[in-house]
Structure 1
């Protein structure tokens, strides 16, 4: 129910033309609707009338309350008589953007007003969070927290508020079961606020490490989702809510029982138990008990969680997640189906996995009606999620968050493991217990590997397993015994290009975000040489400089689409290149020329030495060496320059010959200047990636059809 629209329709409220002011018609009070607190006030008033059933003539707003020598103003009072003399419920409304500490102050304020007015019940609301109390008749008037206030005409309170199936009527004992029987669906903005405020409540402004607070919040969100999914009969209460006359310890026990399910379902991710105190768990339950995460729109809850995660991880981890338009472009461009095995080797919070899942879920609509064929529809995409969707994330906490992100998106079975993505497949399998992370087994890899960090040989034992961590012998080296040597270090993005190749099946696709340096820096030519041997280059789509600015990263990047060669093709290309290099050296008499120059250099130095000795017959070897040092350096420099120039000429001839000799194929090239948002993340309403993606889909389809 849209309370505002219904309120207008039923003549309870009205707005001016620009919706700047709201008028409560019965009381004839006009208020500024741009005030955030007023929005909460309006919805609360309408909730009392439309949901709880209270009579409009028994509700007053903005009433004076005598507090000692001062007069305060209470937001809403509900009376038990038509004369409005006996205060029944006192309501305090606060704006949505409220910290837990500020909310507790509001609770104190509301309760003191209630005691002063002789009210029986108290309701404090920020819309994001609600707390209810019963005020005892006798002193001391200690607080009794309750699950809800009673509906109109109901004298007894139920022990809980939220039940399965939406029972809204009373039982035979005339007990108020529930005003809002099932947890509600909420908007993206509202859910984002719930995530942020609940995290702040656990963090406590420094009382707990924000990282630990995030971790614990993750666990309770999981419990909330699993509680909603747990089989229960219509009318049975949910466990993730407060019960009347219950100790917080009892609530914590129920939550830990739910969490035990996760520890069995995904032991590699849900490793640690809940460490929150009973009171902290109670705080989080109050934020989440009224919402239904499973029924809330998939896109809304996904965006809310990612917005919250993005701001948190940037601040605490320096993580920069791939913007949604880029993720969508990559996944949409690839022919992923429910039979495809899909992997992200650096999955972060799981953005690429989610879009792959959504792509297959949409494909299910082509074959099955989501309502009429619900079981078949569910099986189509859920089998893909459970058996074909995989993620690797090096950080334990972020891996758990990726798992949580998938659970929020109605999955919960995705194979996300916490592991260094550059370990061998056998090491990953041993560490995670998941045997599905096998080389040569994935049809698609979609990923944005970490940029800018280097792996050192002295730090990681696996470095020798990568060809790109080895310095190849210079093909123009004049030393016949030249050997390949290990590099001191290698950047992570380069190593991931090779690791992805290992994971892919032949003709499998890799779509990867890379820094432009890999495509342009002369020092990385060897990387490009390796790429052309490992992959058929499908497409290069250049992103604008601002693509990652809004997420805090400013590296100019492109999206590279690659198709893994068959092993015979890679071997053929490698052999062709080796033969070409030898041919270029032979045709240009390279070794003989360099040998001749070496002799000329040696002869020139000998002449310098002889001339110096002739001029200074008494000088020793050291003296002669010092006398000819400058001239000798000039001879050496001249020789080096000649050799380097010759190497440049032969390298150019090699590249020209390679272009002719190697199999030629078209490459899709595009430059995206506007991808839907600017440097600040603001929407530009013009995403060029949409059209580029459509053309790229056709191009890839053509490759799959013609290049067998």
Structure 2
């Protein structure tokens, strides 16, 4: 019988201790890994120990104790011989860093254990401990720890210790290119079509890594076994209730299950198939089988995947890649914070979303690490081993990584089973990152890119960015960053159709549960109430006929998506800022948002992507409710004042134009009157705009850079954007520009000076308020 994690409320059972412990994120990872040691590696509980003290405690110096220690056998454990494996566990929201290796190195060194493991469940690293030198050190990362059977064989141990792990960034990038070339050479597909097939296979691999207990493992051995079964007319057994039919080749069967797994993401059409030969698929499985994407660091996967993307997409697809220097600058200026909701409605390959995700993730991890160090230091200095004190410390550490808002909806996928809280990083991944792209290939690419960089893909959709979809609604976002398509037009002939509607009742039920029925219904009315009507009519600029340019329409769309006080960074052609035919458009935007920074960048920046239009990086902040009221008040007052000046003349002109019969003006006279009336109305509009802008006055910082970190050939050069950001950040902080849109997101343990004292004194920790 397999060992399973047992959770009841805020307690988790620890079989190695024989009792319940406080359910902290770190304890959850530890107990899950213990289950893996038993179920996968076949170790028995009586040859392991949890929280094994490896050195004596001294006041002020901390304790050296290992999370999990494993002996070759229960007899060696009883004899207190040296263990074989020392394991250090971290919470899933903690990125494993070099200091964690050093900490574990000390544990393993004191224990004389040849294997050291560090894991946060998402990423697991195994090291060889060099026992032949003093002090004993960690050498290269190796492939795996031994199974219980291998642990008793010296030869097996020696072999495992010699198997250096070679899955580094460059190798993974080369591997992806090799798989891509297999398809291009064998199946004669274009680079883009070959990439589509690679994407399908990577999604399939991720799907099976998420379901390790299934019989269908992504290995060459399993594939060959199923090939044989297929030839013998033995079909795979359905895994899911609504799984695919049994009478299809095994690679197609895998893909059907994967489509089902990612159904809500709308990644693949219902009739989408694997479009490569079985031999090509088999060769790729062979190349990928030794790598576990789920336990490979996000840095390795993410950067390697980006290298692969950059080397694969050329020509027309270059438009989907915003240079990293531009992405970094926009995000550094906007400075997204934890708990803010972020969107890119033209996300392309996901560059902005990935950087924003990493930017906020680093803030969370640094905060948790700093606060945890304070708590641990206080605990160590207390010079007490009292279990109640330790429980208090664990309770605080538990709260550090958890979102304070209790989740009440059972349908919320991110909630940890039987636990009231979710981790702060889980909330970032599942509830704060959103994007759309109208190109299905790029939507899949963005999702895969997000997964490779640490997830957050659930909010990315294949969708026209001008239309609402799951979570992408008006007045919802704190931060928007985007590089919309330039130069193309949306015509009146582009209609909203029934295909744009979400009809799956289960998904609708889920979305209503997450966002509230009233909010969801209102958001989706943009589509439901406009079937067979032009997409342009959903926007003021389009409906009024001001412009059909995509870049202009997306400015309005982004402003609409923002909450009052929300902020946007957008790449725009400079013509939007200065051409006369877009003057009315600019006037409209002036009435909805403030310009807070304009940075002109050299034409070279986008040249490698095939774009020749000179661009600017434009930052705006949507009016707060108070600013909207103020603008409207200034406008109403100015209108009344100006109409009063021309009231008599306008009344006379209106009456004359309304006359009929013998007293009516001639056609020529009417023409003159209409022109005069039009001239007066235009004069009033101009004067109203002048008065309002004079009263609603604010600074607009403008900068021009000659070098933005990338040349016309893509080479790395000097980056003056860094200087602009360093100058702008103190300015916007001093002027409190983000204040209205930032959440009041404070933690009791971060703001209270008594937390450390409570740990030292062993008092009950203060409970979080809902």
- After TM superposition, the score normalised by the length of structure 2 is 0.54
Query: 1:33-112 residue pairs with structure 2 within 5 A?
Result: none
1:703 alignment partner, SS class: coil
Partner of 1:390: 434
Query: Equivalent residue for 1:222?
Result: 203
Give ranges in structure 1 of 5+ residues lacking alignment: 1-161, 429-433, 472-485, 600-631
Distance in 2 (alpha carbons) for counterparts of 1:253 and 1:697 = 55
CA gap of 1:173–1:241, structure 2 versus 1, over 3 A, is farther
Give 1:196 deviation, angstroms: 2.4
Give 1:459 shift: 2.1
1:571 positional shift: 5.1
What is the Cα deviation at residue 351 of structure 1?
0.9
**What residue is the counterpart of 1:512 in the other structure?**
570
Counterpart of 1:566 in structure 2 is 624
Q: Deviations over 1:209-258 (max 9, x none)?
A: 443321110122233345556557xxx99943333993573798489548
- Matched positions, count: 483
Name the counterpart of 1:157: none
Separation in 2 of the partners of 1:673 and 1:379?
Answer: 43
Q: Which position in structure 2 is the counterpart of 1:703?
A: 736
1:400 counterpart = 2:435: no
Deviations 1:430-488 (A, max 9, x none): xxxx3x223222111111111111001122322122111144xxxxxxxxxxxxxx46x
1:672 aligns with 2:745: no
Where does structure 2 lack aligned partners over 5 or more consecutive residues? 1-141, 230-248, 374-396, 403-421, 496-533, 658-667, 742-770
Write out aligned runs for 1:323-342 (5 A). Answer: 323-342=323-342
What SS does structure 1 have at the residue aligned with 2:329? helix
Instruction: Name the CA shift for 1:707/1:263 in 2 (closer, same or farther; >3 Å).
Output: closer
Aligned residue among 145, 162, 167 for 1:185? 167
Q: How is 1:343-362 mapped onto 2 (pairs within 5 angstroms)?
A: 343-362=343-362
Match of 1:264 in 2: 261
Alignment pair present for 1:410 and 2:407? no
| Greater radius of gyration (CA) | 1
Aligned to 2:488: 453
- 2:538 is matched with 465
Shift of 1:330: 1.2
Equivalents in 1 of 2:228, 2:316: separation in Å?
33
Matched-pair contact (CA < 8 Å) for 1:394–1:420: yes
Equivalent residues of 1:535, 1:565 under 8 A apart: yes
Matched, 1:501 2:501: no
Which residue of structure 2 aligns with residue 657 of structure 1?
691
Supply the distance in 2 between the matched residues of 1:689 and 1:589 (Cα, whole angstroms).
Answer: 52
Q: 1-side partners of 2:449 and 2:175: how far apart?
A: 16
Which residue of structure 1 aligns with residue 33 of structure 2?
none
Distance 2:610 2:162 in 1: 42
SS in 2 for 1:420: coil
Q: Distance in 2 between matches of 1:179 and 1:284?
A: 28
Secondary structure of 2:605's aligned partner:
coil
Aligned residue among 560, 564, 576 for 2:634:
576
Report if aligned partners of 2:448, 2:457 keep a CA contact under 8 Å in 1: no
Larger mean Cα displacement after TM superposition, 497-506 or 586-595:
586-595
| 1:5-24 alignment runs, 5 A limit | none
1:137-286 equivalences in 2 (<5 Å): 165=145, 184-188=166-170, 190-204=171-185, 207-228=188-209, 231=212, 239-243=217-221, 246=224, 249=227, 253=250, 257=254, 260=257, 263-271=260-268, 272=272, 274-286=274-286
Contact 1:543–1:558 under 8 Å retained in 2: yes
Q: Distance in 2 between matches of 1:647 and 1:245?
A: 76
Pair 705,413 (structure 1): closer, same or farther in 2 beyond 3 Å:
closer
In structure 1, what is the Cα distance between the partners aligned to 2:550 and 2:143? Answer: 50
8 Å Cα contact 2:646-2:680 kept in structure 1:
no
Q: Residue 301 of structure 1: SS of its match in structure 2?
A: helix
Matched-pair contact (CA < 8 Å) for 2:599–2:702:
yes
Looking at structure 2, the residues matched to 166 and 704 of structure 1 have their Cα atoms a distance apart, in angstroms, of 56
8 Å Cα contact 2:430/2:458 also seen in 1 = yes
Partner of 1:557: 615
How big is each residue's C-alpha offset from its partner over 1:667-701, in whole Å with a ceiling of 9 and x where there is no partner? 232222212121111111x2222232233333333
Distance 2:671 2:698 in 1: 42
In structure 1, what is the Cα distance between the partners aligned to 2:599 and 2:697?
Answer: 20
RMSD of Structure 2 on Structure 1 (CA): 4.5
How far has the Cα of 1:416 moved from its partner? 0.9
Closer, same or farther: CA 467–166 of 1 in aligned 2, 3 Å: farther
Asked if the contact 1:334–1:700 (Cα under 8 Å) also holds between the matched residues in 2, the reply is no
Find the residue that maps to 1:496 and give its secondary structure. Answer: helix
Q: Distance in 1 between matches of 2:701 and 2:368?
A: 34
Among 519, 522, 545, the residue aligned to 2:603: 545
- Cα distance in 2, alignment partners of residues 639 and 320 from structure 1: 52
CA shift for structure 1 position 400: 1.2
What CA distance in whole angstroms lies between the structure 2 residues aligned with 1:249 and 1:655? 74
**Matches of 2:648 and 2:730, distance apart in 1:** 46
Q: Is the 8 A contact 1:169 1:177 kept in 2?
A: no
CA distance in 1, matches of 2:464, 2:652: 46
Q: Distance in 2 between matches of 1:199 and 1:403?
A: 19
Rounded Cα–Cα distance in structure 1 between residues aligned with 2:489 and 2:222 = 56
The alpha carbon displacement at 1:493 in A equals 1.3
The separation in 2 between residues aligned to 1:463 and 1:397, in whole angstroms, is 24
Secondary structure of 1:319's aligned partner: helix
C-alpha distance in 2, partners of 1:396/1:385?
Answer: 22
Q: What secondary structure, in the 3-state scheme, does the structure 2 residue paired with 1:194 have? A: helix
- 8 Å CA contact 2:267–2:462 kept in 1: the answer is no
Query: Which secondary structure does the structure 1 equivalent of 2:173 belong to?
Result: helix
Distance change in 2, residues 1:217/1:179 (3 Å): farther
* Cα distance change on mapping 1:266 and 1:340 into 2, 3 Å: farther
* Cα distance in 2 for residues equivalent to 1:264 and 1:321: 28
Report how far residue 259 of structure 1 moved. Answer: 7.3
CA contact (8 A) 1:248 1:278 kept: no
Output the CA distance in 2 between the equivalents of 1:706 and 1:278. Answer: 57
**Residues 342 and 443 of structure 1 are in contact (CA less than 8 Å); yes or no, is this contact kept in structure 2?**
yes
1:218/1:401 contact within 8 Å kept: yes
Q: TM-score if structure 1 supplies the norm length?
A: 0.59
1:525 and 2:583 correspond: yes
Deviation of residue 362 (structure 1)?
A: 0.8
Report which of the two has the higher share of strand: 1
Deviations 1:89-124, CA, capped at 9 Å, x for gaps: xxxxxxxxxxxxxxxxxxxxxxxxxxxxxxxxxxxx
In the superposition, relative to structure 1, how do residues 642 and 300 fare at CA in structure 2: closer, same or farther (>3 Å)?
A: farther
Cα drift, residue 408 of structure 1: 0.8
The corresponding residue for 1:58 is none
Give me the whole-angstrom Cα distance separating, in 2, the residues matched to 1:647 and 1:311: 57
* SS of structure 2 residue aligned to 1:333: helix
* Residue equivalent to 1:124: none
Question: Within 1, Cα distance between the matches of 2:586 and 2:162?
Answer: 61
Relative distance call for 1:527 and 1:574 in structure 2 (3 A) is farther
